[in-house]
Amino acid sequence: MVPMWMFPVAIACGNTFVLKPSERDPSPSLKLAQLLEEAGLPKGVFNVVQGDKEAVDALLSTPTSRPSASSARRPSPSTSIREGTRHGKRVQALGGAKNHMVVMPDADLDQAADALIGAGYGSAGERCMAISVAVVVGAVADELVAKLTKRIRALNVDDGTAPRADMGPLDHGGASRQGARLHRGRLARRRQARRGRSRAQGRRAAKADSSWGPRCSITCSPTCGSIARKSSARCCRSLRVPDFASAVELVNAHEYGNGVACYTSDGGVAREFARRIKAGMVGINVPIPVPLAFHSFGGWKRSMFGDHHIYGEEGVRFYTRYKSVMQRWPSAEGKGPEFTMPTHD
């Protein structure tokens, strides 16, 4: 998906495009190149280079490639932008994400619960815009958690190709059912391990703050990262805060600033949230605030490195270089040398 946000803009602006996919999933990029060739794209316009860090370093250092766009986390985005700019390149580098949804007491809780389920577990949570933390304001947390729990228990975790599967691994061929059983076994073991960690974390949180803090862990996914630090989004956690200011402070304190959502029925709260929150993409009653193509995609802080976000107007600026041309057609009789600053006369 991410390369397809990039190469159409690059090619439309007159560039060729080199895609270095992750070495863990090389095949989709080759299929994409095949489809583009069948559609009539000239050879050499869209190129695929396979490899690991060595291939990335070569692309960052070669003098023949000018702009450099990256969404990989290996090497880290900061390394990509440092190495790219050292070699005189313009760099876009997308980093990690830890997306929050703030749920206000006046929100429609059924809508908020549905949005959290879809945004947390859609695509099995394997997308940078997934909501992994619900920040619930005030006394509505118990009611929201009850609604989430009911919806989570109704999720069908199975082989991802099964007709009624809501989420699960893709396991083609005759081993699909066996793969699903193995997946459920791994899931059960990880849940058990997390319960032990959650009890220890809960004891530490209780000592640190007796009134507010982590109260509920809602998990329906293979792995789960730390609430506060890791960018992994394959789970949904619920945190309680006493008021709107605390919710904004919690979100803004995080090192990532990719996407964030706020569910409320108050226009004043929505306006203040959008103004004060430190994230690149903000949704008001929209759980996954991915901009349409005429805007641009990208976060703040460690979620995005570089001067330009991807696709939209920012993407066009990234794949082009600005040029100003001043022309003058004076008469045959010149005025002689001019030693002052140029004017429009």
Instruction: State the distance between the two ends of the chain, measured CA to CA, in whole angstroms.
Output: 52
User: CA torsion 297→299→300→301, rounded to 10°?
Assistant: -140
Contact (Cβ atoms closer than 8 angstroms) between residue 119 and residue 262: no
Q: Cα–Cα distance between 270 and 289 in angstroms, integer?
A: 14
Structure tokens that stand for 20 in this block: 């270095």
The number of C-alpha atoms within 13 Å of 220 and in the hemisphere containing its C-beta is: 26
CA nearest to 252, candidates 107, 95, 120, 135? 135
Pick from 233, 250, 244: which is nearest to 287 by CA?
233
Distance of alpha carbon 253 from alpha carbon 98, whole angstroms: 12
Burial (Cβ within 10 Å: 0-12, 13-18, ≥19) of residue 120: buried
Residue whose C-alpha is closest to residue 233's, from 270, 282, 288, 182? 288
CB-based contacts of 279: which residues, under 8 Å, 6+ apart?
251, 257, 258, 259, 260, 299, 300, 303
Positions marked active-site: 128
